[in-house]
Amino acid sequence: MATPPILLNKHYTEPSVFTAENLLREARRQKSLPRGQVPRICVLDPDGDIVRWLVATRRAERSLQWACYHTDLYSFAQDDMRFGIVGCAVGASFAVLVAEELFSSGCELLISVTSAGQIAEPKEPPYFVLIEKALRDEGTSYHYLPPGDFSRIAPGLLRTVEGVFTQTAMPLFRGATWTTDAPFRETASAVARCRDLGIMAVEMEAAALYAFADATQKSVVCLAHVTNRMARTEGDFEKGIAGGSQDALQMVGLVARVWMNCQPG
């Protein structure tokens, strides 16, 4: 069988001609925006529930310097720390596009909190999973890393954020997820195979974000907010109070705090 195009003509150590820095430069020119820095710690909120709740409760302020063509960046405070947050960047390619732009704009730690469908059943949803590795069943990761089954959180960063487990009473597990580009192709056979691999949940961003982080040596932590059983029964997708935003922000704050405590100075 012929090698698929996505695995051909890849030069992993060669820099890209098209860069996030240059894209944002032209966006600033077209929009007459000044150059600005984003907060050191930023959050990806693919569902957009956290952003909507922060805006509705007047806790978030939209950045007037964020030049991205596709998204808005908001800033907010949590646990005496300042964060940036981008909502509705769902899927591997969109999440990595925004991640590239955030890190080129001053981000030092990116925390993704994505909703996920349950595969293993440690308890009733909702709960969180600290994603240690993600099955690469999407396309974006193959542009950053050579072919492989999983992409992983950086080992040193994993050791740092493990401290969260001693600080939270919320249900938090650690393990693997399956990252897919096609949520409506989650077949029974595919789910069964993932269960055999010890995978806990299915989501749409982590494999690509971890591949990007590995290739560029950036700090990315992916959390899965397991909220559903793929709508196989009515009453699914209930995240909790405020669409799960308060619980998600508490988890974000804990991850950020343990990371901050390990930074020099």
pLDDT tier, 265 (very low <50, low <70, confident <90, very high otherwise) = low
Mean pLDDT to the nearest integer, 8-37? 96
- What pLDDT is recorded for position 122? 85
Q: Would you state the pLDDT for residue 200? A: 97
Q: Determine contact, residues 95/44, Cβ cutoff 8 Å.
A: yes
Number of domains in the chain: 1
| Residue 131, H or E segment | strand 127-137
> Domain with 234 in it: what CATH number?
3.40.50.1580
Which of 221, 207, 225 has its CA nearest to residue 118? 225
* 23 domain-assigned: no
Assess whether pLDDT exceeds 80 at residue 205.
Answer: yes
Query: The domain containing residue 170 runs over which residues?
Result: 38-261
- The set of long-range contacts for 118-122, using a CB threshold of 8 Å and a minimum separation of 24, is 118/200, 118/201, 118/226, 118/228, 118/229, 118/230, 119/178, 119/191, 119/194, 119/195, 119/199, 119/200, 119/201, 119/202, 120/175, 120/195, 120/198, 120/199, 120/200, 120/201, 122/173, 122/200
**With helix as H, strand as E and coil as C, how does 64-98 read?**
CCCCCCCCCEEEEEECCEEEEEEECCCCHHHHHHH
Residue 170 reports pLDDT greater than 90: no
How does pLDDT run across 53-92, given as a tens digit for each residue? 999 999 999 999 999 999 999 999 998 999 999 999 999 9
Question: Token pair for residue 98?
Answer: 């925004």
Q: What is the pLDDT of residues 212-262, one digit of tens each?
A: 999 999 999 999 999 988 877 777 777 878 888 999 999 999 999 999 999
DSSP state of 111: E
> What is the chain's alpha carbon radius of gyration, rounded to the nearest angstrom?
18
Assigned domain for 20 exists: no
**Do the domain assignments include residue 32?**
no
pLDDT band at 204 (very low <50, low <70, confident <90, very high): very high
Residue 31: inside a domain: no
> What is the rounded distance in angstroms from the CA atom of residue 190 to the CA atom of residue 66?
39
Average pLDDT over residues 12-29: 97
Q: State the pLDDT at residue 101.
A: 98
Q: Is position 184 within any domain?
A: yes
pLDDT in tens, 125-158: 999 999 999 999 999 999 999 999 999 999 999 9
Residue 115 lies in a domain: yes
CA dihedral (145, 101, 89, 39) positive or negative? positive
Residue type, 62: R
* pLDDT at position 232: 78
The model's pTM is 0.96
Helix axes 92-104, 206-216, angle to 10 degrees: 40
- Whether 29 is covered by a domain: the verdict is no
The proportion of the chain whose per-residue pLDDT surpasses 90, expressed as a percent, equals: 86
Token pair recorded at residue 103: 């890190």
Confirm whether 51 is domain-assigned: yes
Smallest CA-to-CA distance from 107 within 41, 25, 23, 153 is with 41
Which residues partner with 43 through β-bridges?
85, 111
* Cα–Cα distance measured from residue 100 to residue 150, given in angstroms and rounded to the nearest whole number: 21
